[in-house]
Amino acid sequence: MRDLSRRPELLSINTATVRQQWSLPQIIEGCARQEIRAVAPWRDQVAQCGLKTAAELVKKHDLRISGYCRGGMFTAPDKAGRQAALDDNRRAVDEALALNAECLVLVVGGLAAGSKDIADARQQVRDGIASLLDYSRAQGMKLAIEPLHPMYAADRACVNTLKQANDLCQALGAGIGVAVDVYHVWWDPELAVEIARAGKNNWLYAFHVCDWLVPTRDLLLDRGMMGDGIIDIAGIRRQVEAAGYNGTVEVEIFSAQDWWQRDPDEVLRVCRERYASVC
Ligand code: ZN
């Protein structure tokens, strides 16, 4: 087995990790100072500094954009809502292209407002992705479905396992793949089988890391730094790489009470150290 921990160029920082402390231009400068070669920015941060400025900064620092966060949220109570979501997703594809992102990450959406019908939500998601694919394929932008932990099924994503995401990829054809985030999938007894399946089909597009803290104090904003929780991150990385994945390892930490309170230069430094020692 190759020792991939010695490939610092594969470390990517999802900009949510220091979003409370820094604007996108500050994050890009901060990553450049730490010789971090890849980032994954969020749409609201890009909108805040302007797409043109963001694209220029990416180019100036010769940064790799491991993914663009995010598209999705396809579900809505009515047709107008679903159309609005689709229109917004097309704009996200355009932005991802302008930034030269490797994929547009999809958090697909949960139950439509007022609904208790999760089967319907999943059908809406499938239809929404199929429509978006007509556009993204023509533009040459890859879409990556990120299955989210089942605790988010109601409000964020009704695709909750890698198997579900793989099944969608298989049904929808070229241009669609998966983003494997250890935080969401570490518990899944079918994980190894489904990672191998995604690899075999060449649709492993992204790999995200952070850690699962015990106890977890907040469903959304208490993700841990790699090494501080119970996920076998190196083990899952070995699985994705054995399946043929050769892309970045993207650190994505939402941490209202801890990492968002710290000096962002320190956060990036610790990300680098833990990437080498834990991932
Ligand atoms: Zn993620």
How far is the C-alpha of 223 from the C-alpha of 72, rounded, in Å?
22
Q: 236 pLDDT band (50/70/90 cuts)?
A: very high
The architecture of the domain spanning 4-277 is Alpha-Beta Barrel (3.20)
Which tens digits make up the pLDDT trace of 245-276? 999 999 999 999 999 999 999 999 999 999 99
3-state SS class at 46? helix
Which tens digits make up the pLDDT trace of 59-80? 999 999 999 999 999 999 999 9
State the distance from the centre of ligand 1 to the C-alpha of 182, rounded, in angstroms.
8
State the distance from the centre of ligand 1 to the C-alpha of 250, rounded, in angstroms.
8
In this predicted structure, what is the pLDDT of residue 11? Answer: 98
State the distance from the centre of ligand 1 to the C-alpha of 145, rounded, in angstroms.
10
State the distance from the centre of ligand 1 to the C-alpha of 146, rounded, in angstroms.
7
State the distance from the centre of ligand 1 to the C-alpha of 224, rounded, in angstroms.
13
pLDDT at 5 over 80: no
C-beta of residue 231 within 8 angstroms of C-beta of residue 211:
yes
| Nearest to 103, CA basis, from 140, 156, 154 | 140
How does DSSP assign 76-108, residue by residue? -SSHHHHHHHHHHHHHHHHHHHHTT-S-EEEE-
In this predicted structure, what is the pLDDT of residue 4? Answer: 47
pLDDT at 52 over 90: yes
State the distance from the centre of ligand 1 to the C-alpha of 252, rounded, in angstroms.
6
State the distance from the centre of ligand 1 to the C-alpha of 207, rounded, in angstroms.
8
Instruction: For residues 114-137, give the mean pLDDT.
Output: 98
